Amino acid sequence: MTEEAERSANRLPVDDSREHLMIRIARMTYQQDKTLTEIATETGLNRWQVSRLLQEARDLGVVRIEIVPRTLRHPDLEARLAHTFGLRDAVVVPGPLEQGIEGVAQAAGQYIATMKPKPRVIGVSWGRTMAAVAHWLPPDWADGVTVVQINGTVAPVPGVAYHNDVAETFARKGKGRMIPLPVPAIVGERLTREVLEKDRIVADVLRSARSAQVLTFSLGVAGDASVLMRSGNITKSEMASLVKAGAVGDVLGHFINKRGEPVDPELDARTIGLNLSDLRQRERVIGIAAGPEKHEITLGTLRAGLINVLVTDEATATFALEHAHDR
């Protein structure tokens, strides 16, 4: 250590104020992108002292530097999807779906983490795909975000994340808070839904959900694989009727056909959460889908204009483009 460096080190505080200064400098460097010179000017330190405190922050684990390989993308398909369906953004993971939903979930997590500006309020759904997205969200992806659950809950289903887990993970990693929607996804009577949505607590949650700048959810399937049926929210006979009516899947519990049209208004009237009309005219509405079972629901969702950002795999993107103009 040079004599000048030693004198600078001796002038740094050695009590709790040193850690506060270290954290302040780390934030200025990594969150505000300020230079050593700018930080030195603002803090009254010299460049050597700033550099020393940054190194201490890394050594003590106050700052963790993580190298995350970028998910490969398919820019040609992304551009074609955006043009054909009027999307704000499209993220397409190329190649066969060898990783199951993980590759698409990782791409979705990276997309959400790099959004500019960061949302103050984000609405999220639940499910296996959304749990994978939450897993791939990097720590500190946001700072003080409010995460709102945007559709009602279901009974536990093996292999599917508990309804609060996704929102809790989004909030914890975004250094914010989570607002649950503590009601069933689908109730037995229209009147029951109306009464529940008038409840002060439920109404406040829905109001927060409708204020979200960003919404993100996975697209659901129709048939035996539907989580809504496996959880008991929809009976087998009801699902059979939905499929017979042309349902190809659901968006937040609202079943649509391949043209994006609702197939059961009576069921929609018993479904608690955001309505399909709530999805339009939003800053970002991110739909996530992976696998051949999601091809038709992705197409229907795109044709209805229910999302303006799609994160998906190459095969699903290709299917949507090939059938974009089907009657």
**pLDDT tens digits, residue range 261-298?**
999 999 999 999 999 999 987 899 999 999 999 999 99
**138 contacts 68 by C-beta, under 8 angstroms:** yes
Six token digits for residue 77: 């398909």
Say whether pTM exceeds 0.75: yes
Six token digits for residue 166: 């996704």
Six token digits for residue 292: 């051949």
**52 contacts 14 by C-beta, under 8 angstroms:** no
Q: Residue 271 in 3-state DSSP?
A: strand
The pLDDT of residue 210 is above 60: yes
Q: Where in the chain is CATH 3.40.50.1360?
A: 75-322
CA distances (Å), origin 111, targets 128, 281, 310: 18, 20, 10
Could you give the angle at the alpha carbon of 287 between the alpha carbons of 233 and 205, nearest 5°? 60
- Tell me what the mean pLDDT of segment 126-154 comes to: 94
- Tell me what the mean pLDDT of segment 100-124 comes to: 94
Q: Where in the chain is CATH 1.10.10.60?
A: 3-59
Q: Residue 145 in 3-state DSSP?
A: coil
Each residue's pLDDT tens digit, 190-206 = 999 999 999 999 999 99
Alpha helices in the chain (DSSP H): 3-11, 16-30, 36-43, 47-59, 75-85, 102-113, 128-136, 163-173, 190-198, 200-211, 227-230, 236-244, 265-268, 295-304, 314-322
Residue showing tokens 């330190």: 45
Comparing 15-29, 238-252, 282-296, which segment has the lowest mean pLDDT? 15-29
The pLDDT of residue 16 is above 80: no
The pLDDT of residue 6 is above 50: no
Q: Which residues of 83-98 are buried (b: 16+ CB within 10 A; e: fewer)?
A: eebebeebbbbeeebe
Q: In whole angstroms, give the CA distance from residue 130 to residue 144.
A: 20
Could you give the angle at the alpha carbon of 267 between the alpha carbons of 265 and 268, nearest 5°? 60
Structure confidence at residue 68 (pLDDT): 57
CATH for the stretch 3-59: 1.10.10.60
Q: In whole angstroms, give the CA distance from residue 299 to residue 60.
A: 49
Mean pLDDT (the chain, rounded) = 90
Structure confidence at residue 176 (pLDDT): 97
Q: Could you tell me whether strands 254-256 and 249-251 are parallel, antiparallel, or unpaired per DSSP bridges?
A: antiparallel
CATH for the stretch 75-322: 3.40.50.1360
Q: Residue 174 in 3-state DSSP?
A: coil
Query: Residue 126: pLDDT band by 50, 70, 90 thresholds?
Result: very high
Query: Residue 32: pLDDT band by 50, 70, 90 thresholds?
Result: confident
CA distances (Å), origin 215, targets 61, 119, 212, 244: 33, 10, 7, 30
Six token digits for residue 259: 């043209």
Q: Which residues of 6-28 are buried (b: 16+ CB within 10 A; e: fewer)?
A: eebeeeeeeeeeeeebbeebbeb
